[in-house]
Each structure stands twice: as structure tokens, then as C-alpha cells.
Amino acid sequence: MFDPLNKNYIGTYDLERGLQGIRIYAGSDEPDLIIKHFSKGGVRLSFAEFCNIFVSKDAEYARIVNNRMREGHRVFSYETEAKLQDLIRLTIRAESMAENMRQRLSRSLDFDTHRAFSDMDLDKNGFITSDEFESMLRHHGISSTALDLKCLMEHFDKNGDGRVSYGEFVQEVRPQSPRKH
């Protein structure tokens, strides 16, 4: 649906067309925000990156989904398509809310990305680890599970080396859309 030319990646136009195919009409910058958020390169989504958005993080559920047979000529059953629509709408809404927060942070006079990064880099080695994210969350009264921390690291750690550099951190907290939210 999203990659009709079998390129093994999708761009903004492909994502928009695929969403329209399941009757989701996203705002003008929302498909671009999704790609910037979930893509390691920020320009297009690979098949694996696309799957990371929509396939469960739980290994057993992911296995079930990946081994599911197609139902006749339809790609999805009606029930599955409705659930996929809900999941995509939720993902778009979450990314729009995150972009709104990034825009507000960028306008805030008392927010400095360097200071925020430095405050979270407890051992001052130039990287934020999962343990340092956990410490920051705990300091602010937010409990987190191992899965929460794994997802947070996947979100920030664009190169997958198990730690978040200053560049990766800035890339995530800096506004992604030229449009003001």
C-alpha cells in the first residue's frame, strides 16, 4: 500500500498516498513529521523503520503479526484496517503534539538545549545513556519500565550505538516543521 513500486523505502508522498488509501487525510506537514521522527536519515522510511512504528515491541505479538496470512484479495480484514487507522491517527496526533512541544521549547527564553543535555549527562562523557534517562525521569517523579526506556532510547539514539549524542538530542528537541504549531 505504501510502497507500490517496491523500492523498500517510502518518502513523504508515498506515505501521504498510502494514508489516503486507508482513508486517513493527514495535515500538510504531518507525513513529513512522521518520516523525520521515525527515520534514521530523516528523509525516507525503510521497511524496517516503517515496521518499528506499527509492529508491537513485544516479540511474541510481533511474531504473530509478521506470520499472519493475507485474507483473500484484501490486504487487511475490515477490523484490522480500522485498528490500523486508529493506530496511525494516534501516531500522527502524538507526533503533532511532540512538534507543538518542540515549537514551544524553541520559543522559551529559559530553555537551552546545551544545558538540558548537560544536566542529563550525569557522568559528563558527552552522551546520555538509558540509565541517565531513567535517573532524570525518576528525579521528576516519573516511573518507567525497561520497555519505556528502550523506546525512549530508540527514539533519540538515531545511529543505534546505545547512547545519545548531543547532535542526536538536538535533532530530537529542535522543531522539525517550518510551520508554527
Reply yes or no on whether the pLDDT at 67 is more than 80: no
Instruction: For residue 118, give the 3-state DSSP assignment.
Output: helix
Reply yes or no on whether the pLDDT at 143 is more than 80: yes
Q: Comparing C-alpha atoms, which of 141, 137, 142 is closest to residue 120?
A: 137
Give the model confidence (pLDDT) of 32-43 as tens digits: 888 888 887 778
Reply yes or no on whether the pLDDT at 66 is more than 80: no
Instruction: For residue 148, give the 3-state DSSP assignment.
Output: helix
In a 10 Å sphere around its CB, with 0-12 CB exposed, 13-18 middle and 19+ buried, how is residue 97 labelled?
exposed
- Phi and psi at residue 3, to the nearest 5°: -125, 65
Q: For the whole model, what pTM was predicted?
A: 0.66
CA angle 31, 15, 79 (to 5 degrees): 105
Reply yes or no on whether the pLDDT at 158 is more than 90: no
pLDDT at 151 (0 to 100): 85
Give the model confidence (pLDDT) of 93-141 as tens digits: 888 888 889 899 989 999 999 999 999 999 999 999 999 999 999 999 9
pLDDT at 53 (0 to 100): 81
Instruction: Write down all domains in the chain, each with its CATH number in brackets.
Output: 9-107 (no CATH), 113-173 (1.10.238.10)
Higher pLDDT, 66 or 107: 107
Residue with cell 493506530: 87
